[in-house]
Amino acid sequence: MSQERASGADPVYVYKPSLMGAPWELCLRPDALEWQLGRQRGRIPYARISRVRLSFRPATMQTRRFVAEIWWPGGRRLLIASTSWQSLFEQRPQDRAYGAFIHELNQRIAASGGTTAFETGAPAFLYWPGLVLFAATGLALAALVVRALEIGAYSGAAMVGGFFALFVWQSGSYFKRNRPGQYRPEAVPKEVLPDA
């Protein structure tokens, strides 16, 4: 499916949220976000969008996955991901198309004059306890490495040290990008969008 329409037409973003399901097609009309999932269709006027949250959400098959969540009164939450399922083991990144679509969506929501809340990261009630657990686990692993070196268990220290480095790299990136906050729609933070 095409990610773009002819020059001058409304921007379109298409992605497959699951392997077996139908693809989502989202289109930015002059006054509303229109979506289609199989036979289901919907239309959300930009001024009625109450909240937008952008976050970094790695998945098992895609470690660089970004998500936009959109809420509006009386409707279900709309989720837009930066990756699309291709096969049982592959999710294809759509970084450029996703980034351009999200930037334009933010501009149109802001221009509508609504009272939209623009949020970044994970919900605070999940983020802060998770950060404490991350720090505690990191300290425990570092202490294990030090203890293994003290007793001369160098292979054990290397193994735990490798796991510690991987844990800090993966989880640290998640917590760095997902700090709860708010943003201005004309200045979307780079932490919650893929590199173009």
For the segment 2-59, what is each residue's pLDDT rounded down to a tens digit?
444 444 589 999 998 877 777 889 999 999 999 988 888 889 999 999 999 999 988 7
For the segment 56-73, what is each residue's pLDDT rounded down to a tens digit?
988 766 678 899 999 999
The secondary structure of the chain as a DSSP string is --S--STTSPPEEEE-SSSSSPPEEEEE-SSEEEEEETTEEEEEEGGG--EEEEEE--BTTBSS-EEEEEE-TTSPPEEEESEEEEETTEEEE-HHHHHHHHHHHHHHHHHTT---EEEESS-HHHHHHHHHHHHHHHHHHHHHHHHHHHTT-HHHHHHHHHHHHHHHHHHHHHHHHT--EE--TTS--GGGS---
Which pTM does this prediction carry? Answer: 0.83
Query: What is the structure's pLDDT at 8?
Result: 57
Confidence band, pLDDT 50/70/90 cuts, at residue 139: very high
> Is 2.30.110.10 the CATH classification of the domain at 12-122+182-192?
no
